């Protein structure tokens, strides 16, 4: 049966699909707050039941020490690619509850929008993925590809158990690629495919210039001041334009490709409005547009600094210690460890030898995410989206970090295509979160076609195309 019939089947049953999604949304699966542990357990039970009813096998909870992930597989397409299907069932807390027009866990449709905590992030798009698989199995008796559904329970708490789970269940999760229901669309009218995001490493540094804070009358003018020394260290990080001034940190960077710059230029982006909307001032590396600085170039920011007396009024001390928190957003081609070493060497070089410097080793840095633009997942998405919209999709890259993509790439060697249908204005993490019913329909049209498109490849072909794309 043609995929069009699958899509039509789904679109004919939108009321039923919304109803099922509402049942999912009524479960208050807030992962950040132990008071909601029942809501988490109810959501797990609901999903286990759902996956079993769809017809997935091996349905189980994958335990990594925290909230478990929910897993289920369909392996009925031998010789075809196997795709992990990622979603998450946990949601942000609903506070402030009184700011909601209708209660956060009582889903309500108003003006074509489904209001509920988690509707946009990301139960709505997760439901699209599950309904798609369900329709294939119900109508055709088979999916175009093998699928392994993986629904995380700690996305909203920075995924502390994700690495342990993926390591522990590596064999079970083995796949050729991943499609994620998470990752919002970048624009309401223009189809976009996310092919990159920056990685991040974080540091905290402290310096000491004396055993204790000293009286500025008794010592002022004759001894070092930790605040002055920290200011000099921080000042050494950037040039007068705000560009990173540590050559060793930029040395290993590949030149930004012409195509990546063309992608950046294609995405409609009002630079003036972007900066003015938050009362900020543009700043940064010469020779790059703001959009390029945000997505294609590394950024080093002091996230916090402090030293000496910071209370009310004056206190005439010479601070003996000063501190700074730093984060470095890194781009494809930068190795977190190498970059981290380069930053440490720089800090030790600029810090005067008689000032004690301690650098707390960064937690595991996160590599940049880079999905090759010729990857079969990207080509499949391009085809589906351009047919659906009549427009060539724009390849976009994010300035922020998506650790999940990097964890799966690192531990399972697979790429992730983000294929969520949320939009950026849907108040995720805020009161009155909503998901557009129009987006639900768009997703229900696109997901079956995407799986169908990927299923046109044999597993072998998919792997070799993937490998070729990585090398290019």
Instruction: Provide the sign of the torsion angle of the four alpha carbons 386, 414, 79, 421, taken in this order.
Output: negative
**Residue 60 CB coordination number (10 Å):** 16
Q: Is residue 399 a contact residue for a copy of itself (CB under 8 A)?
A: yes
Residues 319, 227 contacting (CB under 8 angstroms): yes
- Which residue of 37, 304, 391, 460 would you call a contact of a copy of itself, by CB under 8 A? 304
Residues 30, 90 contacting (CB under 8 angstroms): yes
> Cα 357 to chain center, whole Å?
33
- Which residue of 211, 272, 286, 361 would you call a contact of a copy of itself, by CB under 8 A? 211
- Which residue of 14, 32, 327, 389 would you call a contact of a copy of itself, by CB under 8 A? 327
Min dist. Cβ of residue 118 to a copy of itself (A): 21
Residues 344, 246 contacting (CB under 8 angstroms): no
Query: Of the two residues 141 and 304, which places its CB atom closer to a copy of itself in the complex?
Result: 304
Query: Of the two residues 96 and 279, which places its CB atom closer to a copy of itself in the complex?
Result: 279
- Which residue of 109, 172, 190, 317 would you call a contact of a copy of itself, by CB under 8 A? 317
Distance CA(310)–CA(307), nearest Å, equals 8
Query: Of the two residues 219 and 267, which places its CB atom closer to a copy of itself in the complex?
Result: 219
Place of tokens 């269940």: 169
Total of chain residues touching a copy of itself, rule CB under 8 A? 80
Distance CA(466)–CA(131), nearest Å, equals 27
Q: Is residue 348 a contact residue for a copy of itself (CB under 8 A)?
A: no
Contact range with a copy of itself by CB under 8 A, out of 46-54, 60-68, 292-300, 375-383: 292-300
Counting every residue written for the chain, the total comes to 472
Distance CA(153)–CA(166), nearest Å, equals 13
Q: Segment 216-245, which members bind a copy of itself (CB under 8 A)?
A: 216-225, 227-228, 230-235, 237-238, 242
- Which residue of 57, 257, 303, 464 would you call a contact of a copy of itself, by CB under 8 A? 303
Query: Of the two residues 242 and 431, which places its CB atom closer to a copy of itself in the complex?
Result: 242
Query: Of the two residues 178 and 230, which places its CB atom closer to a copy of itself in the complex?
Result: 230
* Run of H or E including 125: helix 124-135
For residues 163, 164, 165 and 171, what is the CA-based torsion angle, rounded to 10 degrees? 90
Query: Of the two residues 281 and 471, which places its CB atom closer to a copy of itself in the complex?
Result: 281
């Amino acid at each position: 049966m043609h995929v069009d019939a699958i899509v039509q089947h789904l679109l004919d049953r939108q009321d039923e699909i919304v109803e099922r999604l509402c049942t999912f949304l009524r479960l208050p699966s807030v992962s950040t707050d132990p008071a909601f542990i029942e809501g988490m357990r109810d959501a797990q039970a609901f999903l286990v039941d759902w996956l079993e009813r769809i017809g997935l096998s091996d349905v189980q909870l994958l335990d990594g020490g925290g909230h478990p992930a929910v897993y289920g597989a369909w392996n009925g397409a031998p010789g075809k690619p196997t795709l992990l299907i990622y979603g998450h069932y946990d949601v942000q807390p609903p506070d402030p509850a009184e700011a909601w027009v209708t209660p956060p866990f009582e889903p309500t449709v108003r003006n074509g929008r489904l209001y509920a905590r988690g509707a946009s992030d990301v139960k709505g798009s997760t439901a699209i993925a599950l309904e798609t698989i369900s329709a294939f199995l119900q109508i055709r008796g088979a999916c175009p590809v093998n699928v392994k559904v993986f629904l995380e329970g700690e996305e909203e708490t920075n995924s502390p158990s994700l690495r342990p789970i993926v390591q522990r269940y590596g064999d079970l999760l083995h796949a050729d690629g991943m499609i994620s229901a998470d990752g919002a669309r970048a624009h309401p009218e223009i189809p976009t495919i996310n092919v990159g995001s920056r990685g991040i490493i974080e540091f905290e540094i402290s310096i000491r210039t004396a055993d204790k804070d000293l009286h500025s009358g008794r010592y002022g003018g004759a001894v070092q001041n930790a605040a002055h020394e920290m200011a000099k260290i921080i000042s050494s990080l950037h040039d007068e334009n705000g560009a990173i001034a540590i050559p060793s940190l930029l040395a290993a960077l590949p030149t930004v490709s012409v195509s990546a710059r063309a992608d950046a230029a294609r995405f409609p982006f009002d630079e003036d409005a972007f900066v003015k909307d938050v009362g900020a001032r543009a700043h940064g590396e010469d020779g790059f547009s703001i959009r390029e600085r945000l997505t294609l170039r590394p950024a080093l920011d002091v996230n916090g600094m402090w030293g000496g007396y910071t209370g009310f009024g004056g206190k005439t001390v010479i601070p003996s210690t000063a501190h700074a928190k730093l984060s470095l957003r890194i781009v494809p081609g930068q190795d977190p460890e190498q970059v981290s070493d380069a930053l440490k060497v720089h800090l030790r070089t600029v810090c005067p030898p008689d000032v004690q410097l301690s650098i707390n080793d960064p937690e595991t840095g996160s590599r940049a995410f880079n999905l090759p633009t010729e990857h079969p997942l990207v080509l499949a998405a391009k085809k589906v989206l351009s047919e659906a919209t009549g427009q060539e999709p724009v390849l976009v890259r994010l300035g922020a970090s998506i650790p999940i993509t990097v964890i799966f790439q690192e531990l399972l060697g697979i790429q992730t295509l983000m294929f969520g249908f949320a939009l950026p204005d849907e108040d995720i993490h805020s009161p009155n979160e909503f998901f557009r019913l129009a987006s639900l329909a768009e997703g229900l049209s696109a997901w079956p076609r995407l799986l169908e498109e990927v299923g046109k490849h044999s597993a072998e072909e998919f792997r070799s195309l993937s490998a070729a794309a990585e090398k290019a």
